[in-house]
Amino acid sequence: MKTENSTDARRAWMGLLAQSNEAELARLWLAFGAKPAFDWLRVPEAGGVMVRGRMGGSGAAFNLGEMTVTRCALTLNDGTVGHAYVQGRSKPKAEIAAQIDALMQTEVAADLRAAVLAPLQAAKQATKEARAAKAAATKVEFFTMVRGED
Amino acid sequence: MYVAVKGGERAIDNAHAWLAEERRGDMAIAELSTGQIREQMSLAVNRVMAEGSLYDPDLAALAIKQSRGDLIEAIFLIRAYRTTLPRFGYSEAVETGAMACDRRISATFKDAPGGQVLGPTFDYTHRLLDFKLAADGEVPKAATAAPRMEPTPHITEFLRGEDLIEQEPVADVVPGDLTREPMRFPAGRALRLQSLTRGDEGFILGMAYSTQRGYGRNHAFVGELRIGKVPVEMEIPELGFAIEIGEVELTECETVNQFKGSKTVPPQFTRGYGLVFGQSERKSIAMALVDRALRWEELGEDNLGAAAQDEEFVLSHADNIQATGFLEHIKLPHYVDFQSELELVRKLRREAQELAEHLAAREAAE
């Protein structure tokens, strides 16, 4: 059985799911096919996380303000546990994310990665690159005027 | 004296129904969606998130719609809502050095690595009304160039070597949280920064401007200003490791300020810091100036008696929800209080008059 359960891989997919566009995530999940049966360990719940910054960008921490986050946890019939902490207040988004987190620890991981995570990652990268490309176009190119005779 | 305290219910209900109708405005005009507010009034959304101290653009857009565009009322709604949210925890400190910058400028270092990136700025516009916006129109596509995908390091990183600028001490202390414990003075820099970042933009701007005009002048240059998104990470107890739980747009301003040095520190540049939710450039520059002014004591500077140097004054008056709550409460019924004031004034007048009459009578008798 090929599973992807190393911490780094899990961190990556959970982070991707947390930041995903809900409509896009729901569309890809719906298209993925059979959904697992599961029991709730913690039903979806919206809450706040206090975001911290650093003084001067690099010094000691301070509390900047909160952001909304929705979390839940569930268990598949085989005992695999899925967690979700996703940005915003959408309970359906958290539910899908937790199911994907659980299934990514099972033998469907590769299919799920191809069907859902890879397109989400590509969309995220494309959005980021599109903004960076617009930013790059506003970069000032200084030039020095040559004045007078040589 | 008995004062009627009942009887307003019907008037209040009718006032609120009329408010709803006024909020909707002319029914012949299409209704605003919260999505339209989020996308097209994004800087108002940013301000409500920053001062409401809750990053959620959809909620901020809803609050702006509900408040008819009164941003302080919208901030009030967000503050009230956030008190209902269970607190899941505290994030790791965000790494602004890894920000995907939409904008990054420096007023001090022309050739900063990563360059001067203007981003979607109002700067260099002519501030002339654009009547094309009053008609529906297509927006021309923004130009693109080869994207720079590597992180843009902070400009102060490049000054470390020469020791010309103070370094931020990295301390592993848990910062105070003014949403959990009431503020006490001296508050310290962590609480000051939390208070300033959620403080009223107008107030912080006024305080910052006062330092520029000479009330606690600190000769600030914008060393760096950057706007962009950073991921937010939080340690998840049930997992035992940290994951990214989302990303937030931030505006960060670092000022570079003149400093003559002290007995223990050679002359070097000092820093003020501003970090605000959303694209909030004016606020973050102002925050950095006020942060720097409030640091006079730790830097061994003189207390010039300037308002912006007075931590208790600045922090006690920066919060527009506290301020408007106390200000606006005086319009609510104070009939009993006023009745007693009225009685008091009548009594004082009566006494004054009696005294005057008594004195006049004695004078006449003498």
- Give me the DSSP letters along B256-297: EE-----SSS-S-BEEEEEEEESS-HHHHHHHHHHHHHHTTT
Distances from the Cα of B179 to the Cαs of B54, B199, B349, in angstroms? 12, 13, 47
Res. A150 pLDDT band, cuts 50 70 90: low
Instruction: Please answer yes or no on whether A49 and B232 come within 8 Å at the CB atom.
Output: yes
Asked if pLDDT for residue B76 goes beyond 70, the answer is yes
Distances from the Cα of B210 to the Cαs of B27, B107, B204, B265, B308, in angstroms? 45, 21, 10, 27, 7
Asked if pLDDT for residue B224 goes beyond 70, the answer is yes
DSSP state of A39: E
A102 within some domain: yes
A66 within some domain: yes
Query: Which percentage of chain B shows pLDDT scores above 90?
Result: 74
To test the contact with chain B by mutation, choose from A7, A45, A63 the residue with the greatest count of B C-beta atoms within 10 A, namely A63
Q: Which of B297, B209, B221 is nearest to B255 (CA)?
A: B221
Q: List the domain range (segments joined by +) for residue A48.
A: 7-135
Contacts of B246 by beta carbon, 8 Å cutoff, 6+ apart = A18, A19, A67, A69, A86, A87, A88, B231, B232
262-301 of B, contacting A, C-beta below 8 A:
271, 273, 275, 277
Q: What is the count of residue pairs from A and B with beta carbons less than 8 Å apart?
A: 239
Instruction: Please answer yes or no on whether B147 and A47 come within 8 Å at the CB atom.
Output: no
> What is the mean pLDDT of the segment spanning B341-361?
92
Instruction: Please answer yes or no on whether B170 and A48 come within 8 Å at the CB atom.
Output: no
> For position A121, what pLDDT does the model report?
98
Instruction: Please answer yes or no on whether B145 and A133 come within 8 Å at the CB atom.
Output: yes
Q: Using CA atoms, how far apart are residues A98 and A85, in angstroms rounded to an integer?
A: 8
Domain count, chain A: 1
105-164 of B, contacting A, C-beta below 8 A:
110-111, 115-120, 142-149, 154, 156
CB contacts of B191 in chain A (<8 Å) are: 62
- Least confident range from B74-83, B107-116, B346-355: namely B107-116
Q: Using CA atoms, how far apart are residues B275 and B225, in angstroms rounded to an integer?
A: 10
CB contacts of A14 in chain B (<8 Å) are: 243-244
User: Which helix (H) or strand (E) element contains residue B62?
Assistant: helix B57-66
A87 within some domain: yes
Instruction: Please answer yes or no on whether A136 and B232 come within 8 Å at the CB atom.
Output: no
pLDDT in tens, B80-95: 999 999 999 999 999 9
Asked if pLDDT for residue B265 goes beyond 90, the answer is no
A19 within some domain: yes
Q: Using CA atoms, how far apart are residues B202 and B206, in angstroms rounded to an integer?
A: 6
Asked if pLDDT for residue A20 goes beyond 60, the answer is yes
| Chain A nearest CA to B290, separation (Å) | 14
pLDDT in tens, A93-147: 999 999 999 999 999 999 999 999 999 999 999 999 999 999 999 999 887 777 7
- Average pLDDT of chain B is 92
44-63 of B, contacting A, C-beta below 8 A:
49-50, 53-56, 58-59
A78 within some domain: yes
Asked if pLDDT for residue A11 goes beyond 50, the answer is yes
pLDDT in tens, B288-320: 999 999 999 988 888 999 999 999 999 999 999
Q: Using CA atoms, how far apart are residues B100 and B93, in angstroms rounded to an integer?
A: 16
A146 within some domain: no
> What is the mean pLDDT of the segment spanning A20-39?
94
In single-letter form, the type of residue at position B3 comes to V
Query: Which percentage of chain B shows pLDDT scores above 70?
Result: 98
Is the separation of the CB atoms in B146 and A133 below 8 Å? yes
In single-letter form, the type of residue at position B144 comes to T
- Least confident range from A59-73, B97-111, B130-144, B207-221: namely B130-144
Asked if pLDDT for residue B118 goes beyond 80, the answer is yes
Res. B324 pLDDT band, cuts 50 70 90: very high
- DSSP lists the bridge partners of residue A48 as A68, B87
Q: Which of B234, B281, B231, B314 is nearest to B119 (CA)?
A: B281
